[in-house]
């Protein structure tokens, strides 16, 4: 079993590049975030086993491109008042059955699958409300290169080589449109010096990869709570913020959140849309519980999140899955 120390060592290697870049760029152009989600933090290697995301949000002082502003104004439920923001993301997610040493995993276990994608996001902030629409386009299947990614990483850290990628879902273009509305600081109080607030959200996703409706609530408690929605996460999950405002002082906050989802479509459980593939019987309702810590100092934000996800398919023997999410954001 892979140790947490090995996983953290690999993570630190991935963070060296962004840290060096932050010292080379003297002016602020935006916020770059690196997100890693992995179940190896808890000595398991199954189901949603790894997600990597890179996010870029231009600085607020940058002029919003005309295409972004025009597109945001055409969305009927978007506020017509407020500043339009935009951002970009690129990522890869991978999913495996419970035992990766089997060349032919049981048909009632979660199938191997990979997903590589690019995302363009548009957001409008109006007072304490924030609306976000994200357009994701990518590939599911061997073209996602999830097999190669997992094998390279496992070889580098001395883990078991996954044997069953020959049974993965087939190639399929993937499209997802995601909408999220959040209300920041619905309730704000001060307790023994630090502040705490509650931020609810509702949303939905439509596409051949994910189709669901979601709602949830996030509680934050800390010193000088920043004007954001928590650390960034990888879909599906509490999305958080890819941007933050630098502070000259050291700040911190604890957070805890819950999200419930009513799922109509999850290609990684339902299988390919237009061709035969492995699949399992998904559960229509599931929930994520997350909690963690955010540290901020000047132009750097570092966060760790522990996620507990309820059972996703009927044949799943475990009552829940656990994985960790670590993110590093740097304002350039």
- Residue predicted with more confidence, 249 or 308: 308
Question: Does the pLDDT at position 172 exceed 60?
Answer: yes
- Copy the structure tokens of residue 203: 């949303």
State pLDDT tens for residues 41-96: 888 889 999 999 999 998 876 677 888 878 877 887 777 777 788 899 999 999 99
Helices (H), 28-104: 66-74
d(Cα 198, Cα 80) in Å, to the nearest integer? 25
State pLDDT tens for residues 109-162: 999 999 999 999 988 877 778 888 999 999 999 999 999 999 999 999 888 899
State pLDDT tens for residues 3-28: 444 444 443 333 333 333 334 444 56
- What is the mean predicted confidence (pLDDT) over 153-179? 94
State pLDDT tens for residues 271-296: 999 999 999 999 999 999 999 999 99
* pLDDT for residue 225: 80
CATH number for the domain harbouring residue 51:
2.40.128.140
Give residue 69's domain range: 4-331
> Domain count of the chain?
1
* pLDDT for residue 26: 46
State pLDDT tens for residues 225-242: 877 777 888 888 776 777
**DSSP string covering 122-172:** EEEEETTEEEEEEEEEEEESGGG-HHHHHHHHHHHHTPPPP--GGGSPPPE
């Amino acid at each position: 079993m892979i140790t947490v120390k090995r996983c953290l060592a690999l993570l630190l290697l991935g963070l060296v590049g962004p840290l060096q870049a932050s010292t080379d760029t003297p002016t602020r152009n935006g916020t770059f975030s690196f997100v890693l989600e992995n179940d190896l933090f808890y000595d398991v290697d199954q189901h949603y086993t790894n997600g990597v995301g890179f996010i870029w949000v231009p600085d607020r002082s940058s002029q919003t491109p005309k295409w972004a502003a025009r597109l945001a104004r055409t969305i009927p439920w978007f506020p017509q008042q407020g500043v339009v923001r935009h951002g970009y993301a690129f990522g890869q997610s991978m999913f495996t059955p419970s035992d990766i040493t089997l060349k032919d995993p049981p048909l009632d276990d979660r199938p191997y699958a990979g997903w590589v994608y690019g995302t363009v996001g548009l957001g409008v902030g109006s007072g304490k409300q924030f609306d976000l629409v994200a357009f994701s386009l990518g590939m599911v299947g061997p073209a996602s290169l999830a097999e190669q990614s997992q094998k390279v990483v496992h070889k580098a850290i001395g883990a078991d080589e996954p044997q069953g990628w020959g049974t993965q879902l087939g190639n399929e273009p993937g499209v997802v449109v995601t909408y999220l509305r959040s209300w920041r600081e619905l309730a704000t109080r001060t307790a023994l010096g630090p502040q705490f607030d509650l931020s609810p959200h509702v949303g939905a996703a439509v596409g051949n990869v994910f189709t669901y409706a979601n709602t949830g609530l996030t509680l934050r408690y800390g010193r000088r709570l920043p004007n954001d929605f928590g650390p960034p996460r990888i879909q599906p999950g509490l999305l958080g913020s890819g941007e933050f405002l630098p502070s000259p002082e050291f700040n911190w906050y604890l957070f805890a959140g819950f999200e419930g989802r009513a799922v109509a479509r999850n290609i990684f459980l339902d299988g390919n849309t237009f061709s035969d593939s492995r699949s399992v019987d998904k559960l229509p309702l599931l929930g994520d519980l997350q909690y963690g810590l955010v540290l901020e100092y000047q132009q750097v934000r570092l966060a760790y999140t522990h996620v507990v996800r309820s059972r996703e398919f009927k044949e799943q023997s475990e009552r829940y899955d656990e994985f960790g999410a670590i993110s590093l954001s740097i304002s350039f």
